[in-house]
Structure 1
Amino acid sequence: MARKLVVSVYISLDGVVQDPVGMENSGLGNWVGPYSRGPEGDEIMRQELWAADIALMGRTTYEGFAAVWPTLDDPAGFARRLNGMPKYVASTTLQQADWSNTTVLARDVAGEVRRMKDDGGGDILVYGSAGLVHSLLPHGLVDQVHMLIYPTVLGRGTRLFPADYAARFDLRDLRQLGSGMVHAVYASSVG
């Protein structure tokens, strides 16, 4: 059975996914900081990570994660899980990836992702990485989108879906979490 590619994003009410923790010097600030997803949200994130056996990310997300996750050891084991699993970073500029178990995908990212999916196994989990997601959507490679929707409107920034992209997704799960946040799971209706 083919793997699912799951995109997991923090997203504002107006669809912005850029720089949720304020590390990219975008001027958007830490727009997720004032909110708490609570224990139910933590469990959702745990289940999402444990269902995956590959992490895939764009260069910007990779650089942010690689600077932090290898230094963490949280009681829930998120860091051990993420640090230990195979990771792929899509980048034409990154020469090498120093985070353990990471491979750089510099060419034919869609083809490589298609091969990973065909190999079967646990999910391929994409955290954020809007540019990467924008490149995968037209190829029909995104199976699910998990949105942690924050009750804020940013007015600018990179959005999850590119302006010229049109598709249909089916709602699979919807839960209200702490601080007025919502977690929504949408599945692609392609295929």
Structure 2
Amino acid sequence: MGKIVISSNVTLDGVVQDPDGAEGFALGGWFHRFAGSKDLEDWAARETAELLGVDALLLGRRTSEWFESRLRPGGGAEARVSPEWADRMNSIPKYVVSSTPEPPRWNNTTVLNGDAVKEISELERTVAGEILVYGSYQLVRTLLEQNLADELRLVVFPVVLGTGLRIFDETGGKPLRLVDTRQMGDGLAFHTYEFVRG
């Protein structure tokens, strides 16, 4: 039985929107503006260790396209990520929830374009280890609404934006249990929670 893990970068007030500034959100780009070099070094080490420890990725279509465009040769990510992380992203089995019938361009990708809840539940039964969810906030909301997520990992950046898309904007009443918390670098906090079911 698999374990679905949501891993996200958030501001102190829970905003997840446009961390790199590429979406044109007025307050976007907070990921690099509010983290120092030691913060980002620790973030990258944690991110790599996390990815190496999971068995599959579960992504929404837009997030999959975002990663694929940056990780293919000449995509621009080469100078910003470790080769180990990039190799794992390209080789790990990926499951993409999409309502469009286009075939995947990214290697090792399976498109889930039927009943999302049914297909994700089946995926959870067939993958033995952790299934990691990056970004994919529409998908994350479905996972939360349908009680399909098992764990939430948040890297909290030291800034309050006051506005923007939040991970729990339209989902409430979810009890969680704190599993771990620690400082990363000089200014980031990393929290791990388990969803309490039943």
> Above 0.5 in TM-score?
yes
Equivalent residue number for residue 103 of structure 1: 110
Does residue 116 of the first structure (1) align with residue 115 of the second (2)? Answer: no
Q: Distance in 2 between matches of 1:65 and 1:160?
A: 19
Shift of residue 151 of structure 1? 0.7
Structure 2, unmatched stretches of 5+, are none
Distance in 2, Cα, partners of 1:29 & 1:164: 23
2:12 alignment partner in structure 1? 13
Residues 1-191 of structure 1 mapped to structure 2, 5 A cutoff: 2-34=1-33, 35-36=35-36, 37-71=39-73, 75-93=82-100, 95-190=102-197
User: Residues 2-59 of structure 1, C-alpha deviation per residue, up to 9 Å, x if partnerless?
Assistant: 1110101010111111111112223332110121434443332122111211111112
1:60-90 Cα distance to aligned partner (Å, 9 max, x none)? 2112111112235555500111100111221
Q: Distance in 2 between matches of 1:97 and 1:18?
A: 25
More deviation, 159-168/110-119: 159-168
**C-alpha contact (below 8 Å) 1:92/1:106 kept by paired residues:** yes
CA distance in 2, matches of 1:164, 1:41: 27
Query: Residues 59 and 94 of structure 1 are in contact (CA less than 8 Å); yes or no, is this contact kept in structure 2?
Result: no
Distance 2:154 2:137 in 1: 13
**C-alpha separation between the residues in 2 aligned to 1:60 and 1:93?**
11
Q: Is the 8 A contact 1:9 1:17 kept in 2?
A: yes
Total equivalences in the alignment: 190
Counterparts of 2:186 and 2:62 in 1: how far apart (Å)?
28
Q: Structure 1 residues 4-13 or 73-82, which shifts more?
A: 73-82
Cα deviation 1:89-146 (Å, max 9, x = unaligned):
2121362321111122222111111111111422110001111000111211101111
Cα 1:59–1:157 shift into 2, 3 Å? farther
% identity of equivalent residues: 37
Partners of 1:19 and 1:107 in 2: CA distance: 28
